[in-house]
Structure 1
Amino acid sequence: MKWVLITFLLLTHCISPVSAFVLTEFCPDGYASGDGDEYFILEGTGSLTGWTVTDGEGTVSFPAGSISNGEIIVARSAEAYNSIHGTFPDYEILESGTTPNVLQSGRFQMANTGDELALLSNGEIISTVSWPDELAASNGRVHVCTNGVWDERIYKIGQSRFSPETFTADSATLFVSPDSSYDVVTNVIRESTDTLLISMYEFTHPELAREIISAVDRGVSVTILLEGGPVGGMSDEQKGVMNYLMEHGVSVITIESEGNLPARYRYLHAKYMVADNYVTVVLSENFKPSGIPLPGTKGNRGWGAAVYDAEIAEYFTDVFTADVLGYDIYVYVPWTEPLPASWSDEKISPYFTTLTLYNVNITPVISPDTSSLVPDLVRSAGTSIDLQQAYISPYPDGENTWLAAVIDAADRGAEVRVMLDGMYYNTEDEADNNELAATLNRYGPTISAKLILPGEYLTKLHNKGVIVDGEYVLISSINWNYNSPNNNREAGLIIQSIEAAEYYTAVFAYDWDGDFDKDPVSAGIGFDVRFILAGGILILLMGILIYRRR
């Protein structure tokens, strides 16, 4: 019986008995015409003699004398694979004349929606994998075996695979919008002497554009990577800013879908900048007047940090480089819109200055690669969670697993405070921030929620921040929906520092207890007719939350 169990585990996982090769990756449904870019990868070293892969209808083997030095990529068509991946495979099934052919018996071609692969050594089955029984199938989906398990995360063709790393930064300057973000961001730009790499979802800020051109005039090389298809399309203001930047020598490129070829990420939603291979600015806000408001003016609530450390800068430079080398990168084509006029909101008295820390532990968070670090952080909570989010929305299957982790922490006794944005577009539907906040307030004594509405100090809540146990702080661009951690390119930092947690807890408390407007219903006091309209949704949400408690 023991050997039967061991055999079952070997066949249903991507591990194998002591052998030279393991099937570690495959993509049955590629983007090229006729799925010519479908492929599989074997990892191992040594002779390939006697090794075969079959889908039950055809079998591929390797020419006599074939040797692997670590990894073997076999594609259906070498030319098609190269057109998508930018490199040629080691072997191909069809004959193009550019790459050695495998030997084929029968007809080997992986079916898109359902098939099975088996790896054999001298006729003995080493491992098998099937879809859709074991793995979900979709266009562009890459199945990867990590630590003996298939599909620990969702991979799409061309996406990066960065691993978690923690660094001890030389220093980090913490800031918040609207109070102190402009001074920090412009200071980094003004002090740059060599290079600026900027990855941004939206860039409409004319004053930051002028600061960048001043850097170009000093000889700084500037490259900007933008989302080419933001929600609602690229605004005239952004077109004007990009035209101005390109006219003055800035390299502007976009990541976007083209025809039937989807981009690697649903959206490039990251917001970071790397200066001179040493300074990395990561923030929740776009380069917009409301996100980085002029000093002393009203704007969004957001968090950010300027980190001074060569290793962290190298990490984010590697992310930037991986993104700009993809198949979905295009040189921005200028339009005719002019640079928008300088603009600022109402005057305010900034309350929070910056805080600089030294020798602080920082872990970059990159979506979708390492976004699982966020729910892991929440699950580690023992005493408290402060969560400030623009919005939290259900997943397609109904349960937001990140929110579920927060509720589990409350069940364990952690004191949880959730603050959400109260703008109309986050409250006008039947299952939006207001319904969620009201539901959380009725959930139990250790969790409470509020909405922030526009007021004299803040335009809106755009933050995506978390504070855990008074020691860990997440600064990021990651929204709490399904796409952001799983399909978008996002960027963030987890800072381990009691001083950092105290700084952002003070900001959170100011927002929580401040005298600017809050929605009284979501705060748990008062009554609103929206609850009548959304009664069915509330009952459903309460049912989900009660089920979670079980």
Structure 2
Amino acid sequence: IIVCALGFVYLSDWSDADVPDIQLYEVKPTQTDEGFALINNSGGAIDLNGYKVSNGTGTVSFTSSLELGPGETLIVVQYDDESPYFLSRDGHPYKKWGVSGIAGDNFELDDDGFALYLYNSSNNIVDAFCYGNAAGDSVHWTGRAFAAMGEQSNAFAVRASYDKAEASAWYRWGTTSNVFDPDKKFDAEVSPFLFPECGGIPVFKALEGAKDSVYVSMYMITEPNAIACLAECAKRGVTVKLLLEGHTGGYYLDGSSDYAKMLKYLVESGAEVNVLTRENESSDDLRRYYYLHTKYCIIDGETVIVTSENWDTYNFTGKTVSDPTEGSNRGWGVIVKSKDYADYMKAVFDNDNSKAYGDVFGFTHVYPGTAPMAITYTSPSDQYPIQTFATKVTPILSPDNSWDATIHYIDNTRKRIDMEMLAISEEYFDAAVESPVSHLIKKAESADVRVLICMTENRDKVIEEISYLNDNSKIKVGYMSHPYLHNKGLVFDDTALVSTVNWTATGFLTNREVGVIIHSPEVADYFAAAFDSDFEDNYDSEAERYVIEASTVLEISILGAAMIAAAAAILLIDRRSRSL
């Protein structure tokens, strides 16, 4: 540890031997039981006398002898109001400041953001935690602050890594703590496919072959034939478990919808269906994720299917499409055969599907009294040929590591980046804000960067953001409306990313999202070829502005022309707007 004249400790220079003996371990930012926890990482007991925690305006100080044993933790709060989560966990003792030799002086955590600093008994800063809208501290904290979690009784941050002081070293309690590791690669056989061309047929066929178990984590699964296929699996003795998002448009706590009735049929067929939601409209919202935005399934403990698309009536038609402009959504998917990757994703599923955190409930609990709607499975008769490639894959998750992973692969690209993206947040177009967009702009100076985005209804903002890219980058950007661009896929040189992650704050930091990096030139070229076709149809390299159909985007006619010139569109989406 390097200590400067002012007593600052450069935390970014920690090595394994430099990790402080006492560190911040948990932080509860809101409600009456707000506070923090310390942990002893040393091999012996340490007296906390002389230690203090400050938020810049107030301090909690340890004013008398208080030993913390090796590996022990201690929660410190002002009020010990009944808490079923932060204060009532076995093996997590707590003390109140103002008593027991712990003094509090004007110490209060701001719900919107703050920075905490831990001082040792020599009055040196040895640890830090930045939260919400707090500005990053380049001396004591690296990079962006830990994302705000909302005012929930189960919302507190937990330390996952002790050798760094940055957002990736922390996770929200109840989520997972998978720090991005570019060297984590599982051997796999990978079969790529495209929407709308495939009509969901590769998924149907994989489910038909399930023998032991099917676990599905999905934002929305509304195609009757997809639900019927899962029901058939359950009826023939396959263990079928689903975790579904409970706040999808029009379906929240609406037991009278056809969607709910089909799910009730699935339950009666023997499947377990859980919903990530709040218990009822008047209960506290304890959701760990802003949205469960995943789109994956695990089959027989050895196969994982990841797509950018929901299993809905638009994508799972069971019919192949030769001309994608005649289909519905543009999306990518992969079948990954890998026991190690399946084990990894099963652990994620089990964590998210747990009822221990107050946000997962059985379907019949959420939708009491819903009558089943009988549905019959029809196996698709169309054939969709797929190729399989031996390769390696790296798991990507939000909120765990998708931000770090995205920036890593952008920065390490040498020749090409092709991206199809549904949504990009407005704040990422601020030149002063580090974001994947700023890294993409920088990379375009040395590599060929091409982007296709979805057109938004907000035409003025679209043009504004297009002007920003035209003025500040060498990115080649076009828009796509047919088929509807719902993809969130990228190709980085000889690596491909298939994912559900929109480039939004929710997509990276507060949703549960899933992606998979495929380290395969063949798979990268497969998706790049599809991108080439899409790009050729939607980008004009000779035109100063892109040609957009007037009937699709701007209801304007200029001198009777059927087509008008407009800037290439970049999708603007607010963190609380559509995220499908």
1:273 maps to which of 290, 293, 297: 297
2:157 maps to which of 123, 127, 142: 142
The verdict on how the C-alpha distance between 1:3 and 1:415 changes in structure 2, with shifts beyond 3 A counting, is closer
The 2-side partners of 1:392 and 1:379 are apart by: 19
The 2-side partners of 1:82 and 1:286 are apart by: 35
Q: Which amino acid aligns with 1:410?
A: A
Unaligned 5+ residue runs, structure 1? 96-101, 542-550
Whether 1:475 and 2:498 are equivalent positions in the alignment is yes
Q: Is the 8 A contact 1:283 1:475 kept in 2?
A: yes
1:336-382 per-residue CA deviation (whole Å, 9 max, x = no partner) reads 366498999xx9x99x7422112x01111101111020122122222
1:159 maps to which of 151, 171, 175: 175
The verdict on how the C-alpha distance between 1:3 and 1:296 changes in structure 2, with shifts beyond 3 A counting, is closer
1:251-284 per-residue CA deviation (whole Å, 9 max, x = no partner) reads 1112224644441111110111011111101110
The verdict on how the C-alpha distance between 1:390 and 1:43 changes in structure 2, with shifts beyond 3 A counting, is same
The verdict on how the C-alpha distance between 1:437 and 1:94 changes in structure 2, with shifts beyond 3 A counting, is closer
The DSSP-based 3-state class of the residue aligned with 1:512 is helix
The 1-side partners of 2:189 and 2:242 are apart by: 25
Q: Is the 8 A contact 2:223 2:312 kept in 1?
A: yes
Whether 1:247 and 2:268 are equivalent positions in the alignment is yes
The 2-side partners of 1:221 and 1:150 are apart by: 40
Q: Is the 8 A contact 1:181 1:293 kept in 2?
A: yes
Which residue number corresponds to residue 73 of structure 2?
A: 72
Which residue number corresponds to residue 324 of structure 1?
A: 353
Which residue number corresponds to residue 427 of structure 1?
A: 457
1:103-159 per-residue CA deviation (whole Å, 9 max, x = no partner) reads 4343489511268553435x6656364775756795546375753324347744433
The verdict on how the C-alpha distance between 1:409 and 1:188 changes in structure 2, with shifts beyond 3 A counting, is same
The 2-side partners of 1:447 and 1:517 are apart by: 12
1:191 maps to which of 209, 214, 217: 209
1:216 maps to which of 231, 234, 238: 234
Which residue number corresponds to residue 450 of structure 2?
A: 417
Q: Is the 8 A contact 1:362 1:496 kept in 2?
A: yes
2:478 maps to which of 450, 457, 460: 450
Which residue number corresponds to residue 120 of structure 1?
A: 120
The 2-side partners of 1:290 and 1:496 are apart by: 30
Which residue number corresponds to residue 405 of structure 1?
A: 439
Which residue number corresponds to residue 381 of structure 1?
A: 413
1:506 maps to which of 529, 532, 551: 529
Shift of 1:492: 0.5
Q: Which amino acid aligns with 1:241?
A: M
Q: Is the 8 A contact 2:213 2:240 kept in 1?
A: yes
1:199-235 per-residue CA deviation (whole Å, 9 max, x = no partner) reads 1011101101111111111211111111111255547
The DSSP-based 3-state class of the residue aligned with 1:8 is coil
Q: Is the 8 A contact 2:307 2:332 kept in 1?
A: yes
Which residue number corresponds to residue 45 of structure 1?
A: 42
1:92 maps to which of 91, 94, 97: 94
1:393-447 per-residue CA deviation (whole Å, 9 max, x = no partner) reads 31278457212222212122x222211224xxx2344223x66457646766x53
Shift of 1:328: 1.7
- What pairs with 1:289-300 in structure 2 (closer than 5 Å)? 289-296=313-320, 298-300=327-329
The 2-side partners of 1:30 and 1:473 are apart by: 40
Which residue number corresponds to residue 524 of structure 1?
A: 546
The DSSP-based 3-state class of the residue aligned with 2:220 is coil
The DSSP-based 3-state class of the residue aligned with 1:306 is strand
Q: Which amino acid aligns with 1:280?
A: V
The 2-side partners of 1:249 and 1:191 are apart by: 18
The DSSP-based 3-state class of the residue aligned with 1:83 is coil
Q: Which amino acid aligns with 2:177?
A: R
- Root-mean-square deviation over aligned CA pairs: 4.2
Q: Is the 8 A contact 2:48 2:65 kept in 1?
A: no
Unaligned 5+ residue runs, structure 2? 138-144, 322-326, 557-565, 571-580
The 2-side partners of 1:75 and 1:196 are apart by: 43
The DSSP-based 3-state class of the residue aligned with 2:516 is strand
The verdict on how the C-alpha distance between 1:410 and 1:91 changes in structure 2, with shifts beyond 3 A counting, is same
Q: Which amino acid aligns with 2:220?
A: E
Shift of 1:28: 4.0
Q: Which amino acid aligns with 2:95?
A: I
1:35-86 per-residue CA deviation (whole Å, 9 max, x = no partner) reads x263313141344342244346554489877532x34242547885553588
Q: Which amino acid aligns with 1:193?
A: K
Q: Number of residues paired by the alignment?
A: 510
The DSSP-based 3-state class of the residue aligned with 2:242 is strand
Q: Identity over aligned residues, as a percent? A: 22
Q: Is the 8 A contact 1:449 1:523 kept in 2?
A: no
Whether 1:494 and 2:479 are equivalent positions in the alignment is no
Structure with more of its chain in helix, by fraction: 1
Which residue number corresponds to residue 306 of structure 2?
A: 282
Whether 1:309 and 2:324 are equivalent positions in the alignment is no
Q: Is the 8 A contact 2:47 2:68 kept in 1?
A: no
Which residue number corresponds to residue 98 of structure 1?
A: none
Which residue number corresponds to residue 27 of structure 2?
A: 27
Q: Is the 8 A contact 2:11 2:164 kept in 1?
A: no
Shift of 1:6: 8.3
